[in-house]
Amino acid sequence: MSAPLSPWHKSLNSPLSARRAAAMALAGVLNGQSLNQCLPPLEARVDSADRGFLRDLVLGGCRHYQRLHALAKILQTRPFGDEDQDLSALLIIGLYQLAIQGKAPHAAVHATVEVCEELGKGYAKSVLNACLRRYGREYESLLPPLDDNPVTATSHPKWLVKMLSKAWPDDWQAILQQNNERPPLCLRVNRRHGSRDDYLARLTSAGIDARAAEFSADGIYLTESCDITQLPGFAEGDFSVQDEAAQLAAQLLAPQAGERILDACAAPGGKTCHLLERADARVLAVDIEESRLGRVHENLARLQLQAEVICADIGAPDDWWDGEHFDAILLDAPCSATGVIRRHPDIKLLRRREDIEQLAEVQARLLDTAWNLLKPGGRLLYATCSVLPQENSEQIQNFINRHTSVGLTELDFPWGKACNAGRQLLPQPDGHDGFYYALMLKEG
pLDDT digits (tens, 9 = 90+) for 72-118: 999 999 999 989 999 999 999 999 999 999 999 988 999 999 999 99
Taking the CB of residue 96, how many other CB atoms lie within 10 A of it?
28
String of DSSP letters for 235-288: TTTSEEE--HHHHHHHHHH---TT-EEEEES-TT-HHHHHHHHH---EEEEEES
Secondary element (H or E) of residue 380:
strand 374-384
Phi, psi of 225 (to 5 degrees): -70, 155
At 420, the amino acid letter reads N
Determine the pLDDT at residue 118. 95
Helices then strands, counting H and E runs in the chain, come out as 17, 13
Distance, in Å, from the CA atom of 54 to the CA atom of 50, rounded to the nearest integer, reads 6
Determine the pLDDT at residue 1. 36
Determine the pLDDT at residue 4. 41
The contacts of residue 153 (CB under 8 Å, 6+ apart) are 67, 146, 147
CA-CA-CA-CA torsion for 411, 267, 433, 240, nearest 10 degrees? 100
Residues 154/176, Cβ–Cβ less than 8 Å: yes
First to last CA, the chain: 73
Determine the pLDDT at residue 7. 44
Distance, in Å, from the CA atom of 155 to the CA atom of 176, rounded to the nearest integer, reads 8
Determine the pLDDT at residue 305. 97
Residues 440/397, Cβ–Cβ less than 8 Å: no
Residues 348/160, Cβ–Cβ less than 8 Å: yes
The contacts of residue 64 (CB under 8 Å, 6+ apart) are 96, 99, 100, 155, 180
Residue numbers in the chain where pLDDT is lower than 70: 1-12
Determine the pLDDT at residue 12. 61
Phi, psi of 319 (to 5 degrees): -85, -15
Secondary element (H or E) of residue 370:
helix 353-372
State the burial class of residue 200 (Cβ atoms within 10 Å of its Cβ: 0-12, 13-18, 19+): middle
pTM over 0.85: yes
String of DSSP letters for 303-362: HT---EEEE--TT-GGGT--SPPEEEEEEE-----TTSTTT-TTHHHH--HHHHHHHHHH
Active-site amino acid positions: 385
